Amino acid sequence: MSDERKITAALDRNKATEDAELESKKADNKQHADKLLRGFEDIDSSSANRAVWELVQNACDLTSKCEVIIDYSNNGFSFSHNGKPFTSATLISLIKQVSSKYDGDEVGKFGTGFITTHAFGRKFKIDSLLEVSGQFLKVKDFLIDRSPKEWKSLVSNIIEQTDRVYELIKGGEIVDSTKASTTFTFIPESKTQQESIKTSSLSL
């Protein structure tokens, strides 16, 4: 066998393609990770108070008759609303922390204001519905983990969470949309985050 044939035989094109795609995803998402990390640096003692109203404003953007439930039980914090369910665009926009209003039609903006909610924890779970082609898929305990303190690990999380949206579309449970609601449940992992939750409850 010639040297040229040996080189061709040794080339795993599928793996090379997967590696190239992964590197492209990392490059595309680095800016989102950097933006998040910069935003976390701006969280201060006033963020907890602003965070609740940011959630209320986002909820009000999603329906003309907004109803919210703010739950401080068990020393935790969760926020529920009756607004429009997620689409793949709005859920991925939340994962990447960017506006989903790019086409002039989608509602709900997860920009710098939403970053203030991380005063309650850099991990939160989402329970909601995902609208796909007129059908609704159950979103249960969808974890957004922004706890990494350096961009490489945060980028890996963003990629993994985005891939989970695609998996949900492929195999998620189809459910009735008449009882649609969305809940964000924050997971405090430090004393500072627990204090932020307490401060928020006292000033609400």
pLDDT mean across residues, the chain: 88
Residue type, 85: P
Residues 23-46: tens digit of each pLDDT: 888 888 999 999 999 999 999 888
**Would you say residue 12 has pLDDT above 90?**
no
Task: Choose among 82, 81, 113: nearest CA to 97.
Answer: 113
Task: List phi, psi (to 5°) of 189.
Answer: -125, 10
The pLDDT assigned to 106 comes to 44
* Residue 9 pLDDT level (bands cut at 50, 70, 90): low
Q: How distant, in Å, are the alpha carbons of 126, 134, 174, 182 from that of 80?
A: 10, 23, 21, 5
**Would you say residue 47 has pLDDT above 50?**
yes
Residues 129-174: tens digit of each pLDDT: 999 999 999 999 999 999 999 999 999 999 999 999 999 999 999 9
